[in-house]
Structure 1
C-alpha cells in the first residue's frame, strides 16, 4: 500500500513536472483540508456559543489532531530512513518514535471524534434497547 499511486498517471502537462512535487502538492492539499475543518469548527462554536448547543470539550479532538499534524510533518523521509539524520538525541530511532507517537495521536483523535459524532449526535434521538 506504500506506493499505490506510483503507477497512477495524470494527463501529461509539459509545463509542470509532477514527479518531483507530488509530496509537496499532497501536503498543501492536506493543509487546506485541515484549515477548512478548523474553519468549520470555529464557525460552529461562534454560531452555537452555549454548551447545551455545542459542547466545547469536543474541540479537544481537533487540538490533538493539530498537534499530531505538526508532529508528523516535522519528520522527513530522510530522517526516518537515516540518510540525513545521524546525530541528535536519538538519531533515526528518535525520528521513528516521534513519527509513531504522531500517528497514534492522529488515529486516537480520529477514533475519539467518531465516538463523539455517533455518541452525541447520531444516536442521541434513538431509544435505548434496555
Structure 2
C-alpha cells in the first residue's frame, strides 16, 4: 500500500531511492501550501458575504483535518506489522484511515457542489468557487503524495 510507485520504472539516470521521502514531502508541502494560498487569496479578494460565503471555508478545514488523519496512521499499522497494537489495533487503524478518506472525498465533493451550485448555475463570478475547488484538489493530491509517495523504514 505504501509504495504503489515501487514497480514503476524510473529513468536509469535518476536515482530516487535516497531522495524519495524528501521529494514526496516537499511536493506534498508545496501542494498543501498552494491550496491554502489560493483560498486565502480568494478570501482577501472577495471579503463580502455576498461575493463569497464565509461558510465555504469549511471544505478546506475538513480537508486539512483529513490530511492529518490519513497521514497519522502508518502503513504498518494498517497491515498489522507493528509491534505495538495500541488501543484498537489494526481494526482501529483501518477505521481511522477510512474515516479520514471519507472526510477527504466528502470535502472534495462538497467543493465541486459549491462550485456548480453557488457560482456556475447562478451566473455569478466563478473565481471564488474555483478557489474553493482548487484548494480541495491541491490538498487532496498533497495527501495522496504524502501518504503513498514515501517509504517507511522498518525499525527493529
The structure with more radius of gyration: 1
Taking only aligned residues, the RMSD between alpha carbons, in angstroms, comes to: 2.3
Greater RCO (CA < 8 Å, at least 6 residues apart): 2
C-alpha distance in 2, partners of 1:73/1:96?
12
**Structure 1 unaligned runs (5+)?**
none
CA distance in 2 between partners of 1:103 and 1:10 (Å): 32
Quick check: 1:114 aligned with 2:115?
A: no
CA distance in 1, matches of 2:83, 2:98: 17
Aligned residues: 123
Q: Say whether the 8 Å CA contact 1:75–1:95 is kept in structure 2.
A: yes
User: TM-score normalised to the size of structure 1?
Assistant: 0.82
Residue 8 (structure 2) aligns with: 7
| Greater than 6 Å deviation, 4+ residue runs | none
**Structure 2: tracts of 5 or more residues without a match:** 125-156
TM-score using structure 2 length? 0.70
Q: Per the alignment, do residues 99 and 54 of structure 1 end up closer, same or farther by CA in structure 2, a change over 3 Å counting? A: same
Name the counterpart of 2:65: 67
